[in-house]
């Protein structure tokens, strides 16, 4: 799963990943964020009605276009196994796929010594910026634009921490993933084109366990 992530780079580092209009994006103010939690506002990249990539803010917790109220069900992650059949996600999966820029994400393990949860900071080598595979929706009734992160069964090395992980797409498939003309069966195949086997991780301080904590967590030098 993916329940928290970070956005630590300046926006130009991410713009290089996408095909965005620089004359618009160069003025975007993007402060670093170290503990982004579900229901908070995040940046996403998707295609507009003319097929051009645009960056837009969205609520991280999908609100389907047909919802009459904000969903109470857990919709900040969409499982790859059912993303094309679950009612809350299937319409977005067909034509409203997006990319969610990030620098790292967190996962937790149970500490056997004190029974508390230890957070792990998970990132690509060299802290490269990357994109989660995502879906987005706009709900006219509620006036909400929202998104969710696609997850898959964990492989190496992530399965030592958790049984699931977010899909981090290879940049080479971004355009096809975003293209509404890409049929669903091909979009599911694109999710195999990911960087998840390159992930690295280390323990950080438990400050990040609180969603109210907004600073940079310190590495755990002497973990229990």
Query: Which runs of E-coded beta strand occur in 140-196?
Result: 144-153, 164-166
pLDDT value for 1: 77
Distance CA 155, CA 167 (A): 11
pLDDT value for 224: 44
pTM: 0.95
The token pair that represents 15 in the structure block: 């713009």
Distance of CA 167 to the CA centre of its chain: 8
pLDDT value for 27: 78
Distance CA 111, CA 32 (A): 29
User: Please, are residues 6 and 103 in contact by the beta-carbon 8 Å criterion?
Assistant: yes
pLDDT value for 221: 58
User: Please, are residues 17 and 131 in contact by the beta-carbon 8 Å criterion?
Assistant: yes
User: Please, are residues 133 and 93 in contact by the beta-carbon 8 Å criterion?
Assistant: no
Let me know the angle formed at the C-alpha of 212 by 169 and 209, rounded to the nearest 5 degrees: 65
- Fold for 5-104+127-197, please state it: hypothetical protein yedk fold (3.90.1680)
Residues annotated as catalytic are 2, 107
Q: Around Cβ 9, how many Cβ atoms within 10 Å?
A: 16
**pLDDT per 10-residue tile (average), the chain, 224 residues:** 87 88 80 94 95 96 97 96 97 97 96 92 96 98 98 95 97 97 96 96 94 88 50
- Which contiguous run of DSSP H or E holds residue 207? none
pLDDT value for 158: 95
pLDDT value for 208: 93
pLDDT value for 222: 52
């Amino acid at each position: 799963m993916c329940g928290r992530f970070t956005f630590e780079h300046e926006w130009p580092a991410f713009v290089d990943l996408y095909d965005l209009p620089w004359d618009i994006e160069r003025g975007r103010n993007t402060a670093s964020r170290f503990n982004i939690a579900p229901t908070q506002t995040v940046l996403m990249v998707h295609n507009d009605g003319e097929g051009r990539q645009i960056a837009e803010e969205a609520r991280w917790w999908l609100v389907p276009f047909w919802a009459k109220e904000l969903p109470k069900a857990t919709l900040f992650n969409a499982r790859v196994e059912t993303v094309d059949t679950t009612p809350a996600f299937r319409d977005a999966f067909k034509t409203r796929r997006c990319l969610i820029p990030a620098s790292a994400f967190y996962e937790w393990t149970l500490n056997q010594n004190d029974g508390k949860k230890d957070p792990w900071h998970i990132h690509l080598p060299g802290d490269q910026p990357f994109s989660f595979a995502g879906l987005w929706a706009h709900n006219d009734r509620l006036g909400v634009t929202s998104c969710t992160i696609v997850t898959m069964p964990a492989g190496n090395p992530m399965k030592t921490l958790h049984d699931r992980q977010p899909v981090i797409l290879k940049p080479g498939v971004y355009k096809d993933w975003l293209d509404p003309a890409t049929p669903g069966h091909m979009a599911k195949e694109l999710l195999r084109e990911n960087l998840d086997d390159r992930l690295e991780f280390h323990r950080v301080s438990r400050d990040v366990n609180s969603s109210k904590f907004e600073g940079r967590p310190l590495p755990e030098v002497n973990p229990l």
